[in-house]
Every structure is written in C-alpha cells, then in structure tokens.
C-alpha cells in the first residue's frame, strides 16, 4: 500500500499537464465555446493545486530519498510543479478579459451582432462611429488572444518539462533499456492520453447543453487521446523489467516468518508446529504464494489501461462523427475510468520494487 500515494502524485501530475495541453490546443483552434474554455481553465488550475499538495505530501526529494531514483532531476520537480500552478493564473485572467468573437460562434451572439449592425445604419455618422468602435474592439481582442495563446504555450511547455523531469528521475527504476528513455516517453504519452480523455469527456458533457455546436473540437481531442494511448502502448512492452531489487530478497519477521520476493512473485513462509517431538521439536516452514502476482497485475494494466480505453475511444470517435454526442460522452466517461486504473497500475508496478 505504500506505493499508492506516490503513484497517485504521478498520475495527478499527468492529468494536470495533459489536460491543460489539450485545452490549450483547443483554444488555439478557436472553435470551442468561450464558456467551456473558461470553465476548464479554472478547473485545471484546481487540478494543479491538488497536484502540488500531493507532491508535498508524498513525493518530495526528502521523502523518496534512498529509493533509487535519479535524485539530481528531483531538484527541479518542486519548482516546476509550483510554476505550472502559478502560470495558469495569469493565463486564466487573460482568458476572462478576452471577449472577442470566436470562430464559428452562432446563436445569440450572432443575433446581437446583426441587430447592432442594423442600428448603426440609421445615419452615416453613427455608422462610422460604430465601425471605429468595432475596429478598436477587434484590435484589442486580437492582442488579448495572441497574448493568451503565447502565454498558454509557455504554460504547456512548463507542463511538458515537468513531466520530462519527473520521468527522468523515475527512469532509474527501469533503465536497463535505452537508459530509461522509454520510461520518460511513456510518462509523456500517458499524460497526453489521460489529460486528453479528461478534456474530451468534459467537452462531451458541454455538448449536452449546446447540441448544435460543431463536433470538430470533440473529434480532435478524442483523436489526440487515441494517438497518445496507442504510442504509449507501443512503448510499454519494451521498457523492460524494473532494475531495483532485481535479485532475490528475504525479510525475516518474528516469530520466524520469511517473506521472499523473486521476479514477479512473492512467497511467504511461516513455521507450523509439529507433534510427537516434545520440547525439542522444530517448526516446519510452510510456503504460501500471494494470491495476486506481478504477472496478473501487468495483465490488468494492459486490459484496463490500454485495450479497453482504445476500444471505447474508438467507439466514441465513431459516435462523434455521427453527432451522437450523448452516447459518445458515455463512452468517454468509461474511458476516463479505465485510463485512471491503468495509469495507477502502470506507475504502481514501476514503483513496486522500491517498497519491497
């Protein structure tokens, strides 16, 4: 159980970084509603705050010292996670200030704009004044949008750098192949997958209130999730076994119980009393295998973390293209659940040897 808090921090960091990156990409596209971007921006700032709290509680360099991690990289983990939270705040402010018309806006905003145009045609002077005001507003909105997109790009780079640094620190747990480079890439693709599906699921719920909106943003972020998840699946089998505690380890627990770990299994041997030998009798050790081995957990990781989410996301993409947003949202909701379980299993299996 000791592995779960540290695995929770890693998954929360992946969710926060990947979610913001996917949201920023939607903002760059400019075809999502302003209300959705504002809501998600505030929500992901809360995610960043929770991630910072989890790091300070479970994953500071002092807490994980001696676990076999690359501690040189851990020095940058705290500043980058804090910077990720702090940089999200001015980005949200820029987002709230920018009220310019977004690409593809329809409905009430378009009607108001049409009514304003008709009103300004009453006389030549008011029309010129209206055009001048609109021109100033457009220029102001363009500047705010450019500033927001540039600042959002900086936040996204900070998020990627944070994932990279953490991956470099934890790559020491499985550095037998390519010096742990595949571990770092798996962290980054995992962040894009779980963050992308989180944004897609919440965007699908937003469509329930605006069923006439374009399905392109939801299709884009769902495709991003599928691509990142497929790449993570391709990398995971080649990461190799954990290199910490690779040999057989024995821990004796009074009154004579022995816990032995070897590869993917754990054997517990405890003495049992024998009869007919008097006071000089010696207990006979009885070996018992733990009910769930690493092999079973790895199988669950692939089923819950890769195969099921890929199938569900594929079905969701098909439904989105058919504009069945409500059904697609249900598929994405299940996909989020499976991906969370899969990522926690993946990070837990990477970390498990350090707690043996």
Among 3-12, 92-101, 110-119, 189-198, the least confident range: 110-119
Q: Is residue 340 part of a domain?
A: yes
Q: Is 170 exposed, middle or buried (0-12, 13-18, 19+ CB in 10 A)?
A: buried
Greater confidence (247 vs 316) lies with 316
Q: Is residue 79 part of a domain?
A: yes
pLDDT in tens, 296-316: 888 888 999 999 999 999 999
Greater confidence (343 vs 296) lies with 343
Q: Is residue 109 part of a domain?
A: yes
Q: In terms of domains, do 131 and 261 share one?
A: no
- Highest mean pLDDT range out of 67-71, 160-164, 297-301? 160-164
d(CA 119, CA 138): 19
Our count of domains for the chain comes to 2
Q: Quick one: pLDDT at residue 102?
A: 66
Q: Is residue 296 part of a domain?
A: no
Greater confidence (352 vs 105) lies with 352
pLDDT in tens, 190-231: 999 999 999 999 999 998 887 778 899 999 999 999 999 999
Most distant CA atoms of the chain, gap in Å: 116
Q: Quick one: pLDDT at residue 280?
A: 54
Residue 256, pLDDT above cutoff 70: no
d(CA 309, CA 304): 7
Residue 120, pLDDT above cutoff 70: no
Q: In terms of domains, do 38 and 115 share one?
A: yes
- Highest mean pLDDT range out of 80-84, 105-109, 286-290? 80-84
d(CA 251, CA 113): 75
d(CA 56, CA 10): 12
Q: In terms of domains, do 223 and 250 share one?
A: no
Q: In terms of domains, do 252 and 134 share one?
A: no
pLDDT in tens, 28-49: 999 898 999 999 999 999 999 9
Q: In terms of domains, do 84 and 205 share one?
A: yes
Greater confidence (287 vs 184) lies with 184
Q: Is residue 159 part of a domain?
A: yes
Q: In terms of domains, do 151 and 260 share one?
A: no
Q: In terms of domains, do 310 and 348 share one?
A: yes
Q: What percent of the chain has pLDDT over 90?
A: 51
Q: In terms of domains, do 223 and 173 share one?
A: yes
d(CA 337, CA 333): 7
**22 confidence band (pLDDT: 50, 70, 90):** very high
CB atoms within 10 A of CB 333: 17
Secondary structure string (H, E, C) spanning 321-336: HCCCHHHHHHHHHHHH
Residue 138, pLDDT above cutoff 80: no
Q: Is residue 330 part of a domain?
A: yes
Q: In terms of domains, do 135 and 84 share one?
A: yes
Domain encompassing residue 317? 3-240+301-355
Q: In terms of domains, do 236 and 286 share one?
A: no
Q: Quick one: pLDDT at residue 141?
A: 66
Q: Quick one: pLDDT at residue 82?
A: 97
pLDDT in tens, 165-182: 999 999 988 876 777 899
d(CA 235, CA 185): 8
Q: In terms of domains, do 166 and 266 share one?
A: no
Give the domain CATH number at 127: 1.20.1630
Q: In terms of domains, do 214 and 232 share one?
A: yes
């Amino acid at each position: 159980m000791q592995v779960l808090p540290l695995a929770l921090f890693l998954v929360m960091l992946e969710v926060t970084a990947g979610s913001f990156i996917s949201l920023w990409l939607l903002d760059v596209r400019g075809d999502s509603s302003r209300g959705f971007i504002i809501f998600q921006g505030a929500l992901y700032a809360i995610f960043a705050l929770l991630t910072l709290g989890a790091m300070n509680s479970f994953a500071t360099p002092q807490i994980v010292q001696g676990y076999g991690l690359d501690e040189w990289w851990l020095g940058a983990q705290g500043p980058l996670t804090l910077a990720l939270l702090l940089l999200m705040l001015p980005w949200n402010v820029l987002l709230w200030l920018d009220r310019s018309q977004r690409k593809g806006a329809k409905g009430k905003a378009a009607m108001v704009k049409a009514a304003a145009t008709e009103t300004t045609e009453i006389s030549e002077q008011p029309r010129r004044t209206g055009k001048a005001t609109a021109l100033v507003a457009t220029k102001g909105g363009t500047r705010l949008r450019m500033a927001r997109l540039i600042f959002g790009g900086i936040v996204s780079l900070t998020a990627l750098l944070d994932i990279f640094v953490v991956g470099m620190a934890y790559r020491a747990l499985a550095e037998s192949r390519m010096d742990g480079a595949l571990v770092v890439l798996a962290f980054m693709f995992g962040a894009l997958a779980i963050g992308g599906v989180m944004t897609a699921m919440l965007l699908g719920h937003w469509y329930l209130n605006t069923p006439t909106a374009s399905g392109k943003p939801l299709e884009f972020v769902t495709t991003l999730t599928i691509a990142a998840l497929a790449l993570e699946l391709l990398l995971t089998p080649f990461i190799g076994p954990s290199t910490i505690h690779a040999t057989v380890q024995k821990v004796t627990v009074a009154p004579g119980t022995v816990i032995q770990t070897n590869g993917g299994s754990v054997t517990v041997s405890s003495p049992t009393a024998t009869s007919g030998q008097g006071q000089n009798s010696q207990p006979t050790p009885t070996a018992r295998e733990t009910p769930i081995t690493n092999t079973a957990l790895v199988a669950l990781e692939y089923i819950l973390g890769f195969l099921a989410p890929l199938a569900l996301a594929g079905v969701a993409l098909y439904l989105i293209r058919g504009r069945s947003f409500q059904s697609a949202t249900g598929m994405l909701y299940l996909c989020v659940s499976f991906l969370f379980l899969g990522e926690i299993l993946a990070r837990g299996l990477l970390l498990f040897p350090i707690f043996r």
